[in-house]
Amino acid sequence: MALDAQSDRALSRRAMKAELLDAETELELAYAWRDRRDEQALHRLIHAYMRLAIAMAAKFRRYGAPMNDLIQEAGLGLMKAADKFDPDRGVRFSTYAVWWIKASIQDYVMRNWSMVRTGSTSSQKSLFFNMRRVQARLEREALARGARLDAHQLREMVAIEVGVPLHDVEMMEGRLAGSDYSLNATQAAAEDGREWIDMLEDDSAQAAERVEARHDTEKLRGWLVAALQGLNARERFIVQERKLREEPRTLESLGAELGLSKERVRQLEAAAFAKMRRSLEAQSREVRHFLA
């Protein structure tokens, strides 16, 4: 932690010593990078405005991210701004860069706030970074009117204020309530040292269910084999080619191979299915009679 603090201060000191660019010099550097890809011009431009990036990064320290990481993300945003900046638009680079720096830092904070993805749309970003401030303002205004808002009323008003669904406010409130906890953490009240993961319900099939499913599958497979054996060779060939291949063959291709018309192959296929249906029905009746 001490090394991080020293690194932060060193970065800040170097940034404060950087040259201050006037509008004319800034414009020259921007043209040099855009038109000639002059890396020295890019370096001067980035170095001159690194103090701006550091100042913006410092505003996001309350979200718990290391300052060094925030500065790195701010620097990436600054470089993106330099790469996309169009000096012909008559806007100062610092004004243009603010948006890119802020967007880069916000993306980083939201990516690292929780293992559960918080959201990436503009409305969700606005909710993440402004919800607490909006809640405090709404509560102050209500108190000034002599009213008191309950939790549900406050969430509804925040949703309207920020322009997001109520569900998003409820979700974000939960995400901002605290950091993630490990499922391998020991329960405080558990004398036997059980972990929270032991309390999760197992959704996988139980042993009895797997045995029953395997038995049913084997029984059905046996019925299908017996039904296929009741067909003649040509009918069995048609059923296998039409229904048991990964890429079923067409009636035309089977007709060409067997020397039959497409319609005749279709008739043989229908007849084979009818035979198999009768065989399966007979076997199922035998099973029901045995069970009864």
Predicted confidence band of residue 29 (pLDDT cuts 50, 70, 90): very high
Output the pLDDT for position 204. Answer: 62
What average pLDDT does the structure give for the chain? 81
pLDDT over 60 (residue 254): yes
* Higher pLDDT among residues 32 and 131, named by residue: 32
* Assigned fold of 2-113: Four Helix Bundle (Hemerythrin (Met), subunit A) (1.20.120)
- Position 46 scores a pLDDT of 93
SS3 of the chain: the string is: CHHHHHHHHHHHHHHHCCCCCCHHHHHHHHHHHHHHCCHHHHHHHHHHCHHHHHHHHHCCHHHCCCHHHHHHHHHHHHHHHHHHCCHHHCCCHHHHHHHHHHHHHHHHHHHHHCCCCCCCCHHHHHHHHHHHHHHHHHHHHHHHCCCCCCHHHHHHHHHHHHCCCHHHHHHHHHHHCCCCCCCCCECCCCCCCCEHHHHCCCCCCCHHHHHHHHHHHHHHHHHHHHHHHCCCHHHHHHHHHHHCCCCCCCHHHHHHHHCCCHHHHHHHHHHHHHHHHHHHHHHHHHHHHHHC
SS3 annotation, 218-243: HHHHHHHHHHHHCCCHHHHHHHHHHH
Average pLDDT estimate for 155-175: 81
Q: Report which residue type is found at 133.
A: R
Over residues 73-120, the pLDDT tens digits come to 999 999 999 999 999 998 999 999 999 999 899 888 877 765 445 555
Domain segments of the chain as ranges: 2-113, 122-176, 209-291
Token pair belonging to 139: 């509560």
**CA distances (Å), origin 2, targets 17, 72, 113:** 23, 18, 23
- Alpha-carbon span 147 to 289, nearest angstrom: 74
Half-sphere exposure of 287 (CA within 13 A, CB side): 11
* Predicted pLDDT at 195: 64
| pLDDT tens figures, 178-208 | 555 555 656 555 556 666 556 555 666 566 7
- The class level of CATH for 209-291 reads mainly alpha
Q: pLDDT tier at 1 (50, 70, 90 boundaries)? A: very low
Report the b/e string of 247-278 with b at 16+ CB within 10 A: eeeebeebbeeeebeeeebbebbeebbebbee
Burial 78-117 (b: 16+ CB within 10 A, else e): bbebbeebebeeeeebeebbbebbbbbbbebbbeebeeee
Percent of the chain with pLDDT strictly greater than 90:
35
CA distance 77 to 52: 11
> Is 69 a residue whose pLDDT tops 70?
yes
Q: Give the pLDDT confidence score for residue 111 in this predicted structure.
A: 79
Give the other-Cβ count within 10 Å of 48's Cβ: 19
User: What pLDDT score was predicted for residue 291?
Assistant: 44
- 146 pLDDT higher than 50: yes
